[in-house]
Amino acid sequence: MLGMWMMTSYRILRAALAKSSSPENESLGHRLKDQGLRFFHDAEAHLDHVYDHRHRTATSVLRDTRKLLKKGLRLFPHHLDMHHKMGLILLALENIGGAKRFWKFSFKLSHTMSPKECLQFRYERGSCDRSGVLRHKMQHDLEHIKHLATQLDIKKAKHILPRYTQAYAAVHRALAPAEKEKDNDAAAYEFIVDTNFLKVLGKKVFKRNWYVPKLPPIHPPIINLHLDRKKYQRMYQKEQIMYVDDILDKNILNYAYRLCTEGAYFHNVKPWGYLGAYLNDGFHHPVFLEIAVKLRHALPEIFKNHYLMQLWAYKYNADLEGIKMHGDDAAVNVNIWLTPDSANLDKDSGGLVVYRRFPDPSWDYKSFNHYTNQAKFERLLENDAVRIAYRQNRAVIFNSFFWHKTDDFLFKKGYKNRRINLTLLFGTRKLR
């Protein structure tokens, strides 16, 4: 019902404004959007007060924010970021079904837009841009389809496998060697996707959630019931960084790993060799939403009034690099590793390096995450480095403004051996 109502509102508004290019119609469209954006900005301002509940409960603020977003969406129904924020609010109120419906709808809506329209919004949506592709993305997709076709006997994968094999061969011939994709100049190694090539790939397949595995119903527990919660909460309060082994119930861990290896979610392509699946870009399966909600229940002294703000999974190429040193605009960062330990050839590495140093308060967010001086910063912060080795089902929980990067990793080749991390960001913290 939600999707039908919102899509109808969007189409009616768009059609009405498209009938005439008169100044009056254009003015009406701008006024509606401006008013919708005012509601959106008011909603974001409300969220800043979620952490200050001296006068009102956080739940009350969340409900008021939801009302503002509803008003905004009535006037600006195709504002993708408003849909994303509404999903976050409903998830904070633990309405998982409602949250999923908003993310599902906005994902569908984004595919009615041009890349230019889609990219004007704040959050990454790699599925919107199908104008080009890097070789390591094509390599991943071919491996994924082969896995589904040969190992799991998925009929649709068998049908499209010959087309993808042909397409990958064309990309392989046209592009530079994979090692060079480590360079920051991604455009130099991009294959331009024209209409004919997209037809070969399949318009409903390339950068689309064309396959999602059917899982058994989700039953509690989600988080391991045997965690020493008091111990971990004391540790975090003291150190602002810790790791927890066996964080997820075994069934949930298996579901999460299956979704990331079988599901067609990884639409965001990073030039250094890894792929991203984002909450606001189709990666909204209830398994991940349940994990976000139940983590807050399990460790309330860590998360407090910090609600989920973003969620993603990254999948890596064994021959290329991981994520460079950076910080995330959040209060608490949770990284959970999903790939079995048998894939990791070096048990002392492959995880995360966290630098227990806050950025200079005078820096803005872009300066903080600029990659130009990586080596210089790593030398400067060497004494503050904490290295946490890779283990399947290990969660690293830390203050999100600590610099951090993927540690060097040596994983076996092969699709099911690709290193996968699930990241959840809670709360916000602005650089002042």
Number of Cβ within 10 Å of residue 81's Cβ equals 16
Per residue in 12-49, pLDDT (tens digit) is 444 544 444 555 545 545 565 676 677 777 777 766 66
Distance, CA of 262 to CA of 152 (rounded, Å): 9
Q: What is the pLDDT of residue 54?
A: 44
Mean of pLDDT values over 175-195: 60
Around 237, how many Cα atoms within 13 Å sit in the side-chain half-sphere?
A: 11
Tokens representing 337 are: 């590793």
Q: What is the pLDDT of residue 143?
A: 96
CA 52: distance to chain centroid?
Answer: 27
Distance, CA of 347 to CA of 411 (rounded, Å): 10
Picking from 44, 96, 95, the residue whose alpha carbon sits closest to that of residue 72 is 44
Q: What is the pLDDT of residue 58?
A: 80
Per residue in 350-375, pLDDT (tens digit) is 999 998 877 666 555 565 555 555 66
Distance, CA of 104 to CA of 343 (rounded, Å): 33
Query: pLDDT above 70 covers what percent of the chain?
Result: 80
Q: What is the pLDDT of residue 270?
A: 84
Tokens representing 74 are: 């009535």
> Order of strands, edge to edge, in the sheet holding 394-399?
241-245, 394-399, 332-337, 420-426, 308-316, 274-278, 268-269
Per residue in 387-397, pLDDT (tens digit) is 999 999 999 99
52-66, 376-390, 391-405, 408-422: least confidently modelled range: 52-66
The pTM score is 0.88
Q: What is the pLDDT of residue 132?
A: 84
Q: DSSP label at 324?
A: P
147-151, 179-183, 214-218: least confidently modelled range: 179-183
Per residue in 53-77, pLDDT (tens digit) is 444 568 888 888 898 889 888 888 8
Q: What is the pLDDT of residue 99?
A: 97
Distance, CA of 290 to CA of 295 (rounded, Å): 8
CA dihedral 293, 332, 392, 226 (to 10 degrees): -60
221: pLDDT strictly greater than 70: yes
Picking from 314, 293, 307, the residue whose alpha carbon sits closest to that of residue 222 is 293
Mean of pLDDT values over 143-165: 95
Q: What is the pLDDT of residue 271?
A: 77
Mean of pLDDT values over 207-215: 95
| Phi-psi category of residue 268: left, alpha or beta, with phi > 0 → left and psi -120 to 50 → alpha | beta
Q: What is the pLDDT of residue 64?
A: 87
Tokens representing 166 are: 């042909």
Per residue in 269-325, pLDDT (tens digit) is 987 789 999 999 999 999 999 999 999 999 999 998 899 999 999 999 998 888 888
